[in-house]
Amino acid sequence: DTEVTQTPKHLVMGMTNKKSLKCEQHMGHRAMYWYKQKAKKPPELMFVYSYEKLSINESVPSRFSPECPNSSLLNLHLHALQPEDSALYLCASSQAPQGAGISYEQYFGPGTRLTVT
Amino acid sequence: GQQLNQSPQSMFIQEGEDVSMNCTSSSIFNTWLWYKQDPGEGPVLLIALYKAGELTSNGRLTAQFGITRKDSFLNISASIPSDVGIYFCAGLGGGADGLTFGKGTHLIIQP
């Protein structure tokens, strides 16, 4: 089983709203990722969690706040977003974080289509 | 940052034709991955390559990890309508923790 689930599938929010995206995997993976994808572009890395700790923040604005409550769950809290933040938000997981000379393939969820009005 | 050059950007083919796309990089990667993405969905992993020179097949798909570790290709034989979508190459281990993606190849199958 290589399934990563994400909820909701679609989300429309105003610029003053607070919402959260959720991601779950039960593969025992210890690294989880958030990517942002604009139309006709490849995914762009936002955050990396390694063993439930934030290890990478790719200069993402503070209106995006990640959280990893346990090894199976990853949340992305949204607050005061801008219309340009509208995109497909993808969660991914891998067996472990990258190490010296070792890389693990990443499995993606179906994404949350976010529209900010 | 690192970049992967993926080509072609788009392909218009007839059903039954073979397809070939490739990625090149100025950096060395430990792992090359090929994903397919349908509209509104997340990327689905097709093939993972771990060793320079490795040639791996998955049904009608064949991919190779270049011997220099700076390139990879993906071939699809006897294309069918469900092969339509965007194919991304991605590299791991080039110094970044996340995937470095190519810009994608949009495969369109003409009736």
User: A43 and B50 in contact by Cβ < 8 A?
Assistant: no
The shortest C-alpha distance from B79 to chain A (Å) reads 22
Report residue A84 as tokens.
């340009």
Could you identify the residue written with the tokens 């090359």? B32
CA atoms within a 13 Å half-sphere pointing along the CA-CB vector of B74:
31
For A7-64, write each residue's pLDDT tens digit: 999 999 999 999 999 999 999 999 999 999 999 899 999 999 999 999 888 889 999 9
Q: Residue A63: which of A46, A48, A49 has the closest Cα?
A: A46
Q: What is the pLDDT of residues B46-57, one digit of tens each?
A: 999 999 999 999
Test mutation, B31, B35, B50, B99, chain A, max A CBs within 10 A: B99
Closest Cα to residue A106, out of B88, B72, B43? B43
Cα–Cα distance, A81 to A19 (Å, whole number): 10
Residue B3, chain A, CB below 8 Å: the answer is no
How do residues A61-105 score in pLDDT, each as one tens digit? 999 999 999 999 999 999 999 999 999 999 999 998 887 667 789
Q: Which residue reads 């990890």 in tokens? A: B65
DSSP A99: B
